[in-house]
Amino acid sequence: MIEPIQNAAEQRVLELLRESEAMLEGHFLLSSGRHSDKYFQCAKLLQYPDRTTEALTSLAERIKADMKKLALDAVAGPAMGGIIVAWELGRQLGLRSFFTERNEEGEMSLRRGFEIRQGERILIVEDVITTGKSFGECAAVLEKLGAEIAAIACIVDRRAADSKSPEETTWPIYAACKAEAKNWDAGSCDLCRQGTPAVKPGSRKSK
């Protein structure tokens, strides 16, 4: 389920993304392997600490309002996109934050001496959610170590309206903004049919 978003707050986040030149339009190959007409390079927003704080403030306030039922112990983000977001949300929520990352085999893992206590309730955060793949990989690692996933959060929820990702039916999703962006399977991409070449601006190898 998707938590309701205050329209004014959502519009301000979109403004901050535009001001940071973090909203790109064209033909993009996403890390999920899907193609899209928009790409959100949130790293360009996250390079500004003041904009990052502002973009996440309304999101943090909504999570704080639900803190009693969420009973959060910590915030975690999958590298790379979730590292700064996890740190800033952890700061605003007054919680410990850490991150998961890929090992030499490309598998998501918990490294660098980070530890999970049995039953610890975790908020998983990312910069952008399209299919929920990174969330799912991060959650699997933490649950194997004994954590309980309480909710997931992101700056931009750009999932298609008919998204059926497993995470959507398992955990509440908090997003700073919802952005409409077309995306297609590689074999049915409208932009490919038009002959427009796709570019890959992300940091993770596409499947």
- What does the pLDDT look like over 36-48, one tens digit per residue? 888 889 999 999 9
- pLDDT score at 59: 97
206: pLDDT strictly greater than 60: no
Question: How far is it, in rounded angstroms, from Cα 201 to Cα 195?
Answer: 19
Residues 6 or more apart whose CB falls under 8 angstroms from that of 73 comprise: 95, 96, 117, 120, 121, 122
Cα separation, 36 vs 181, whole angstroms: 7
Positive/negative CA dihedral, 90, 160, 177, 40: positive
Q: How far apart are the first and last CA of the chain?
A: 27
Question: Whole-prediction pTM value?
Answer: 0.82
Q: Note the pLDDT of residue 54.
A: 97
- Res 202: pLDDT: 62
Assign 203 a pLDDT band (cuts: 50, 70, 90): low
Closest CA to 198 of 21, 36, 24: 36
Mind giving me the DSSP string for 42-77? Answer: THHHHT-HHHHHHHHHHHHHHHHHTHHHH---EEEE
Which tokens go with 7?
């329209």
Q: Tens digits of per-residue pLDDT, 86-138?
A: 999 999 999 999 999 999 988 999 999 999 999 999 999 999 987 778 889 99
CA 97 to the chain's CA centroid: 15
* pLDDT at 160 (0 to 100): 66
pLDDT > 50? residue 2? no
> Using one digit for the tens of pLDDT, what is the confidence trace for 4-56?
445 899 999 999 999 999 988 888 888 778 888 888 899 999 999 999 999 99
Q: Would you say residue 3 has pLDDT above 60?
A: no
CA distances to 17, 64, 115 from 172, in Å: 24, 14, 24
